[in-house]
Amino acid sequence: MGNFKGVALQLLLVFSLLHLSFAKINWFYNYHIHIRNDLPLPMLKGQDYTWDTKINFLHTTLFFCNARWVGRKRMSFDAFTVGRDEQRCLHYHNSCMWSVREDGIYFSQNNATWEYSYRW
């Protein structure tokens, strides 16, 4: 009887821990990262570069993006980091939306309002 209680408690503990980590970590979501070219370049404007990712087991998924505006600007920014983007990119089709513009890089979590995020 004592032993059964012990096993039951352990199971309960394991299930609780599993539940906690599943609740906290969005392992199963497929995130879409979109980087849109909104530079004043007639031929390329609106070009959307997209890829998908899931959050890894260690919760350390990181993507950075090297942006280069040939002959003008060049910079590198974090396109996806777990701590910053895990929640905010769930609002709009699991998408992180980035827009590369003349004055810098903008982020949107709804593809409608844009927040200035990185300077060139």
Ligand X SMILES: *[C@@H]1O[C@H](CO)[C@@H](O)[C@H](O)[C@H]1NC(C)=O
Residues that bind ligand X (CB under 6 A): 34, 95, 111
| Closest separation in Å from C-beta 97 to ligand X | 7
- Would you say 34 or 80 has its CB closer to ligand X? 34
- Which value, to the nearest 10 degrees, does the dihedral of the CA atoms of residues 46, 92, 27, 55 take? 30
- Would you say 26 or 95 has its CB closer to ligand X? 95
What are the residues facing 96 on neighbouring strands?
33
Q: For residue 79, with 0-12 CB atoms within 10 Å meaning exposed, 13-18 middle and 19 or more buried, which class applies? A: buried
- Would you say 25 or 92 has its CB closer to ligand X? 92
| Closest separation in Å from C-beta 36 to ligand X | 8
| Closest separation in Å from C-beta 48 to ligand X | 7
Q: Answer yes or no: are the C-beta atoms of 95 and 76 closer than 8 Å.
A: no
